Amino acid sequence: MKLLEGTVDVADVDAFVAEIGEISAATGATVQAFDARYVASERHLERAVELADRAIDRGENVARDRAVEILLYAAGRRQITEALELGVSPGENRVVVLVDGGDEADAAATIRSRVLDAVAPTLGEYDSERVREFYDVSDAELDVVDGDVERLVLERVALLVVEK
């Protein structure tokens, strides 16, 4: 798994998704772009990949597309429309682009050259309030884990399996 960080200016979300899809198809890699404001850590996305792959292997996946299944786990949601909030939106976006499987090196190089406007660190710079609201993290929960938002996000990702 490779994670690419940077910024993109998205004029048309559908065109952006189509371009990512073309790169995925050409390289055989799974490619998914995330709004970096929602990504708690690299481990957050690693865990989403692990659990999505396990669901696919067991025939328990919700989505037909592996990238969408990964998005569902990263979001901790069963509804695709709700999980899409973690994706890009029109305008300037700080992103983390996940590339996994296939020809990762070619997919990553193509994303750097065709998709990212600038390469810049984004992991670890999530919006704490946005993340807390999206994952429904209460003050009481946060107190129990000494303010470790990442730990609670990883719990939400893992709990998606139980919610089936």
Q: From the CA atom positions of the chain, what is the Rg in Å? A: 15
Q: What does the chain come to in residues? A: 164
| CATH code for position 29 | 3.30.2380.10
pLDDT on residue 27? 98
Q: Domain for residue 12, yes or no?
A: yes
Q: Which amino acid is at 96?
A: V
Question: 90: domain range?
Answer: 2-159
**DSSP letter string over 102-152?**
SSHHHHHHHHHHHT-SEE---TT---HHHHHHHTT--HHHHHHTTT-HHHH
How many whole angstroms separate alpha carbon 22 and alpha carbon 156?
A: 31
Q: Domain for residue 59, yes or no?
A: yes
How many whole angstroms separate alpha carbon 81 and alpha carbon 73?
A: 13
Q: Domain for residue 164, yes or no?
A: no
> What whole-number percentage of the chain has pLDDT above 90?
75
Q: Domain for residue 16, yes or no?
A: yes
Q: Domain for residue 88, yes or no?
A: yes
Q: What is the mean pLDDT of the chain?
A: 92
Q: Mean pLDDT, to the nearest integer, of 2-7?
A: 97
Tell me how many domains the chain contains. Answer: 1
Q: Read off the pLDDT of residues 105-137 as tens digits, 9 standing for 90 and up.
A: 999 999 999 999 999 999 988 888 898 899 888
